[in-house]
């Protein structure tokens, strides 16, 4: 069985992150003003969409059939209905060290 990141200690997670390419924190701003962690990925539109698809069960309750997806200039943020998803500028290692955002709405 492979351990999930949540099952690992902070030191273990930092050690694992040393051996893979830098990933950046992707956050969602919810309609009520809370910021939550979407995940860690590389910069770009495709990685953002892949991360949102992977965790779609969290976003679907906020959306309706008429909501659209709009990328903002530079591809570092997008609007998905009432949600604003963007890179925070924090690397995975920094987030683990300084404290992470909550993962679920």
* Residue-wise DSSP of 37-86: EEEEE-SSHHHHHHHHHHTHHHHGGG--TT--EEEPGGGSEEEETTEEEE
**Structure confidence at residue 27 (pLDDT):** 92
Q: Does pTM top 0.75 for this prediction?
A: yes
Q: Please provide residue 68's backbone torsions phi and psi, each rounded to the nearest 5 degrees.
A: -120, 170
Tens of pLDDT along the chain (105 residues)? 233 456 778 777 777 777 778 889 999 998 899 888 888 899 999 999 999 888 888 888 888 888 888 999 888 899 999 999 999 989 888 888 887 776 655
The total of other beta-carbon atoms located within 10 Å of residue 22's CB is: 11
């Amino acid at each position: 069985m492979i351990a999930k990141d949540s099952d690992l200690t902070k030191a273990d997670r930092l050690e694992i992150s040393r051996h893979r390419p830098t990933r950046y924190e992707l956050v969602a701003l919810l309609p009520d003003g809370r910021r939550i962690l979407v995940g860690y990925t590389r910069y770009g539109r495709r990685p953002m969409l892949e991360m949102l698809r992977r965790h779609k069960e969290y976003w679907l309750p906020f959306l309706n059939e008429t909501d659209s997806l709009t990328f903002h200039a530079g591809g570092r943020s997008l609007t998905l209905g009432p949600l604003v998803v963007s890179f925070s500028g924090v690397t995975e290692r920094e987030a683990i060290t300084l404290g992470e955002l909550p993962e679920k709405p």
